[in-house]
Chain A
Amino acid sequence: MSKKVMVNPRNAYGEALIELGNKYNNLVVLDADLSKSTKTIMFAKKYPDRFFEMGIAEANMITTAAGLASCGKLPFVSTFAVFATGRVYDQIRMDIAYSNANVKIFATHGGISVGKDGVSHQMIEDIALMRVLPNMTVLAPSDAIQTGKIVHLMAEEHGPMYARVGRADAPLIYGKKDVEEMKIGKGMVVEDGSDISFISCGTMVEPALEARKTLAKQGINARVVDMHTIKPIDENLILKCVKDTNGIITAEEHSIIGGLGAAVAEILAEKNFSTKFLRMGIKDTFCESGTPSDLLEKYQLNEKHMVKNAKNILKN
């Protein structure tokens, strides 16, 4: 097996901001004492006048960004996912979503693979919180290449947007060409298959690709969908998975309530499509401190559990 190239999606964010800073002179960046972690520091060094260090004061940062947007600025706002959503919910609701402000919230450290810092830093509800807000687009890119592309798309399209990536380095899934045609709201079939569909987002796309390889050896042909946009969800692609394959497994580093799995379930139920269906995610519990791999094993969110679940639902 060829060795995987690991690149941190956070670095891709930092690099994209630098490119965009050159392209859009109205682009501004705000951070709350985490610029070294979110990588907005890269932008801050290049464009110090357009970077605002807001201190440990996230609520204020969100509403300030809305004010900047009201004057034609294009604010990217960053901190950890837990502080970028839950902590500042009403500020996002009123000043960004309701006001339809052109503010882009780019959060890092989403999910449980944040690891040893524990529950206070492991955000598993952000997709649900953002998805329920009218006007809000919700994104969870899977690798560094896709992250870079998504940051560009966020800048190009108007409106409130939330994107989250994890903390860890991630294996590259795509080349630059693969994401050229990518669009917000259109999921990507990374590998096709006819027996079962994995619909994943963010950090769960790569393990689905690994699970696909293992399943192939056992005669099961799995499709892997990268659902980088959770809202608006790609209804057509979900329906296509129902038609082409015998079951759907969603996977996300997020609660099974309110996230990608829930979004897919809503479509399936309303369209009256009956298929075998399973949501992989955090099962309505707070997790704990631990290494990322220990946590993903204990909370059943890795390749191994994907393989097991795929075989189980196809059998029953």
Chain B
Amino acid sequence: MTGYDAKDIIKLNLKAVKIRKHIIEMLYRAKSGHPGGSLSAVDALVALYFFHMKLNPKKPHDPNRDRFILSKGHAAPALYAVLAERGYFPVEELKKLRMINCMLQGHPVCTYIPGVEASTGSLGHGLSFANGVALAGKLDKKNYNVYAMLGDGETGEGQVWEAAAVAAHYKLDNLTAMIDRNFLQIDGYTEDVLKLESVRDRWSSFGWNTIEIDGHDIEKIINALKEANTHERQPTMIILNTTKGKGVSFMENNVDFHGVPPNEIERNIAIEELTHAEKRLEATL
């Protein structure tokens, strides 16, 4: 898709709220999983899957499809909800997240979940995988694009920087990576755990084109993705400035909700808040 109007953006925002509701319900039912990093990643995923990427849910293995790799695999609930809403598998499946004998694993697996491109959950692998996909695209002279999303804490892994060097060296301009820059990991604030700043300078010094935007502004994300696609001879890193737990007041910027699901009361409040947000958006349509 290329053009859009104000209504399209509102609809995408509505989709994002719906995804957030799914995430809350999924984690509540599963009684485990990662709310914070799932909620912070939603808006970029919605921009990719409901607007920007070239894909066909009925043909998940189409060789010409765009690919998205969720390197921060613990945000699987966000990816699964997006895939289900996009038609890769029935929305009903979301209710069985993390249950035995069910499809939706705690972390993504590519062998049997339709639409999942790479098995992740061990942090630090995704960008290397995306490089492989991008190199193959160049070899085969295909014009698909590859997208990857990394956590900010995740970029502590050395492998991320090995991949950063390779992508720049091979001028992988068919690759766009994103960092979910929410400033939190498990042990605390990223700058206390292991200093990351300046994130942007690091990536540009590795030879990447860099863009920094509000990671919850879907219009800005769409425009950044377009800019990344047209940029030549360099991979692009989009730094998404985000809020961990975005959309649920008591989860926002709260490190305790990295890997703890909502209990019943918390789930009710979260759903109520998201429903309010939905109503506000609908009123502007």
Decide whether A and B assemble into one complex.
yes
Q: A56: nearest residue on chain B (CB-CB)?
A: B156
Contact partner of B187 among A35, A59, A119, CB < 8 A?
A35
A289 within 8 A of B: yes
Contact partner of A121 among B102, B106, B109, B158, CB < 8 A?
B106
A217 within 8 A of B: no
Are A53 and B99 in contact (CB-based, < 8 A)? no
Contact partner of A53 among B121, B124, B194, CB < 8 A?
B194
Q: How far is the CA of A81 from the CA of B215 in the complex (A)?
A: 34
* Known contacts A33-B187, A82-B122, A119 near B194 by CB under 8 Å: no
Task: Place the interface of chain B in its size category.
Answer: 20 to 34
B73 within 8 A of A: yes
Which residues of the partner chain B approach A34 to less than 8 Å between Cβ atoms? 186-187
- Residue from A53, A56, A59, A82 whose CB has the most chain B CB atoms within 10 Å: A56
Which residues of the partner chain B approach A295 to less than 8 Å between Cβ atoms? 100
Interface string of A277-304 (1 = CB under 8 A from B): 0000000000011110011001000000
Q: A287: nearest residue on chain B (CB-CB)?
A: B100
CB distance from A12 to the nearest CB of B (A): 21
Are B186 and A120 in contact (CB-based, < 8 A)? no
Q: Which of B190-227 contact A (CB under 8 A)?
A: 192-194
Which residues of the partner chain B approach A120 to less than 8 Å between Cβ atoms? 73, 106-107, 119-122
Interface string of B109-122 (1 = CB under 8 A from A): 10000000001111
Are B106 and A289 in contact (CB-based, < 8 A)? yes
Which residues of the partner chain B approach A298 to less than 8 Å between Cβ atoms? 100-101
B56 within 8 A of A: no
A to B CB contacts below 8 Å, 22 in the list? A33-B153, A33-B185, A34-B186, A36-B186, A53-B194, A56-B194, A57-B158, A57-B194, A116-B30, A117-B106, A117-B121, A120-B107, A120-B120, A121-B106, A121-B121, A288-B101, A289-B104, A289-B105, A290-B98, A294-B100, A298-B100, A298-B101
Are A115 and B187 in contact (CB-based, < 8 A)? no
CB distance from A54 to the nearest CB of B (A): 7
B262 within 8 A of A: no
Q: Which of B105-157 contact A (CB under 8 A)?
A: 105-107, 109, 119-124, 153-154, 156-157
* Known contacts A53-B193, A87-B122, A289-B105, A118 near B98 by CB under 8 Å: yes
Q: How far is the CA of A295 from the CA of B186 in the complex (A)?
A: 26
A99 within 8 A of B: no
CB distance from B59 to the nearest CB of A (A): 27
Q: B100: nearest residue on chain A (CB-CB)?
A: A290
Which residues of the partner chain A approach B120 to less than 8 Å between Cβ atoms? 120
Which residues of the partner chain A approach B100 to less than 8 Å between Cβ atoms? 288-291, 294-295, 298
A162 within 8 A of B: no
Q: A115: nearest residue on chain B (CB-CB)?
A: B32
Which residues of the partner chain A approach B186 to less than 8 Å between Cβ atoms? 33-34, 36-37
B247 within 8 A of A: no
What 8 pairs between A and B have smallest CB-CB spacing?
Answer: A120-B121, A55-B194, A290-B100, A55-B156, A118-B106, A116-B98, A56-B156, A294-B100
Which residues of the partner chain A approach B156 to less than 8 Å between Cβ atoms? 33, 55-57
Are B106 and A116 in contact (CB-based, < 8 A)? yes
Instruction: Please report whether the interface of chain B is mostly helix, strand, loop or mixed according to DSSP.
Output: loop
Are B185 and A289 in contact (CB-based, < 8 A)? no
CB distance from B109 to the nearest CB of A (A): 7
CB distance from B196 to the nearest CB of A (A): 9
Which residues of the partner chain B approach A198 to less than 8 Å between Cβ atoms? none
Could you tell me which A residues sit within 8 Å of B by CB distance?
A: 31, 33-37, 41, 53-57, 59-60, 82-83, 87, 115-121, 288-291, 294-295, 298
B33 within 8 A of A: yes
Given A41-B187, A289-B105, 20 extra CB contacts under 8 A: A34-B186, A34-B187, A53-B193, A55-B193, A56-B185, A59-B158, A116-B30, A116-B32, A116-B98, A118-B107, A119-B107, A119-B109, A120-B120, A121-B107, A288-B101, A289-B98, A289-B102, A290-B99, A294-B100, A295-B100
Contact partner of B105 among A33, A60, A119, CB < 8 A?
A119
Q: How far is the CA of A37 from the CA of B187 in the complex (A)?
A: 10
CB distance from B261 to the nearest CB of A (A): 10
Are B187 and A53 in contact (CB-based, < 8 A)? yes
Q: Which of B50-107 contact A (CB under 8 A)?
A: 73, 98-102, 104-107
Are A116 and B33 in contact (CB-based, < 8 A)? yes
CB distance from A108 to the nearest CB of B (A): 13
- Residue from B101, B119, B123, B158 whose CB has the most chain A CB atoms within 10 Å: B123
